[in-house]
Amino acid sequence: MHQNWKTDEQIIRKYPSLDPNGLQQVKACIAIGLKCVEADRKKRPSVVDIVDRLNGKRVPIFNQV
């Protein structure tokens, strides 16, 4: 599943009408969604982390691989 969203080109191919800002928003939502389904609960973001990320803040948990 993760491999389906690795590159901007893959996202643009699925959503060709996205402008650069829209692409960034979609990427943020994908990153949040993928983190929320981590098998290890400790690697999942908190609600505060999710809200901060949606508000454009840098959140360390989303930089972890």
One-letter identity of residue 64: Q
Q: How confident is the model at residue 5 (pLDDT cuts 50, 70, 90)?
A: low
**pLDDT tens digits, residue range 7-53?**
788 888 888 898 988 888 888 888 899 999 999 999 999 999 999 99
CA 54, distance to chain mean position in Å, is 9
- Cα–Cα distance, 45 to 11 (Å, whole number): 23
The structure tokens listed for 4 are: 């389906």
